[in-house]
Structure 1
Amino acid sequence: MPTNEASGASCAISLVPTKTDDEPETTATEATACKEYCHESSLDPITHVFKEVVTIESTNSAQFKIHLDIKPTACCVLEKTATNQCRRTKARKSLQPHDYLVQFIFDGIKTSTAKLLRTQTGRQTFSRVNSVDRAVSRPFQFAPIKLVDPDDPAEEICQNEEIIKSLGTIEIQIFKCKLVSDKSPAPLAGSSLAKSTNQMSFSESNKKARLACTAGLGEPTINERTDCPTYIVKHKAVFPFLHVRLVFLIITPTPRLSTSIQFVFRYKPRSILIAEKIIPNPVVPTEPPATASSTAVSQLIDILNH
């Protein structure tokens, strides 16, 4: 999995096996980690953004999970690292833990958010998005891209340039923030969830059509009613602290150092990985020459002896 060396923060994506109809409900299914290629690391000297870019092999139809491992003090570590690399002097201070707001962006669409308290440590796994009232949830899912004829007036084609150029990317942004307990009652409405690229159509002439699949949300399911504490964001940093995807940053003047990590996952089917020589072309084994039968060999020996 791509890891930021400065903070030790890491992120990975795994595929969930498809359950068959004859498989019992009690059968456990383990997720399989996506193979990763072409890991690159960089630091933007202006925005102080740490970027980790990796390519993964996608599938046409499978649910997936996102595994995030981040310490509450990771943001402070990055601020110190960026300060030292920019040759700025700053008084030494102890590492302070922070709350985090996690934002998931699939193919350029802000899909959902999650909140991490500073008391939460270790690896966190995300696989679904809940509606506002928590009555409905939908899984993270790869799905075949829906291509249509651009000249067909009956088809509604996605024209959003940001979504089109972001196809093939999964992004996770982590913002430093302050979380406070939410005392308000749970909302009674708002069970609808955002439309993802899995539910959109794209023009056959689009150059990204060869990606073969999109990353979005699967079919909704009804959640069991549970009571759990909720939190609201009181303060949030301007720039993300941890990021998964290609990011188009708008650089604005800021009076303080703003630090971010970007984990960029570019998902591509195996055929494209082979065409781009990221993985080798599979070797087709050649069939060994046919061996003569024992009867034929005996006949040949008899002929030679005579």
Structure 2
Amino acid sequence: MFPTPIERTPRIVRVVYHLAVPLVLLLWLLPMIAILVTSLRGNQDIIAGNYWGWPREFRMVQNYAEVFNPARSPMVRYFVNSLVITIPSVCMAIFFSAMAGYTLAIHRFRGRILLYALFIAGNFVPFQILMIPVRTIFGNLGLLDTLRALIIFHTSFQIGFATFFLRNFIADLPISLVESARMEGASEMGVFFRVILPLIRPALASLGVLLFTFVWNDFFWALTLVQSDAARPVTFGLQALRGQWSIAWNLISAGSVVAALPSVLVFFVLQRQFIAGLTFGGVKE
């Protein structure tokens, strides 16, 4: 069996493994710990260069209150904008991708494999080369600097990966379930909503967590399609926390923690479904 379970490896390998795991985990968490601790520091710590030492002054309440201070930055508006962009984009991308995945997995028609290959190929296109065409298209449609532009773009951009993701889960379902529903008189939409969607609920939850993280953390396309505060998401709005003459790293760190919280909360709320979705179809009877 490969890989060999750690319990069956030589003793020296187990010792190295148990020593390396905490070290690697600490190195991976170190930047996040640094940001979290910096968000608690006072400005004097930053000026004095105390970036890694224990904070001499804790200003957690003041820093996080300053992040949402309207006189300093419209952070509340940015936060609301991110919710308005992310929630519809994720919901529509999952819905359309589930329908496309159902069609590609269940129905047999000419060109099905080619169409599926196009969905896969789209995931390998470097998104940076799309910047000028996307901006030109949205400019011609009069959608630049609007929330609708980011919603439409993220919905269409995520459909390729989401369809590839869901098609594989649906293909693992017993085709007899679909045939039985059809024999009972169910329409194709009835089969999709009453049979397929309930069965792939773990996959939908895991995909929702991934897409929420992708869309919420986007900076590149917000920079490309948005120019004013009216449509800026929270990731792009963090630069508003910079000071006029110096960079307030404690405030930027506090804003970064606030911006990361929704993705973390979504993961913990859907953690069980997320894990079930990742292992769905992994064991064959």
Pairwise same-fold verdict (TM > 0.5): no
TM-score calculated relative to the size of structure 1: 0.27
Structure with larger RCO (C-alpha < 8 A, sep 6+) = 2
Between structure 1 and structure 2, the one with the greater Rg is 1
TM-score calculated relative to the size of structure 2: 0.29
- Between Structure 1 and Structure 2, the one with more helix by share is 2
- Between Structure 1 and Structure 2, the one with more strand by share is 1
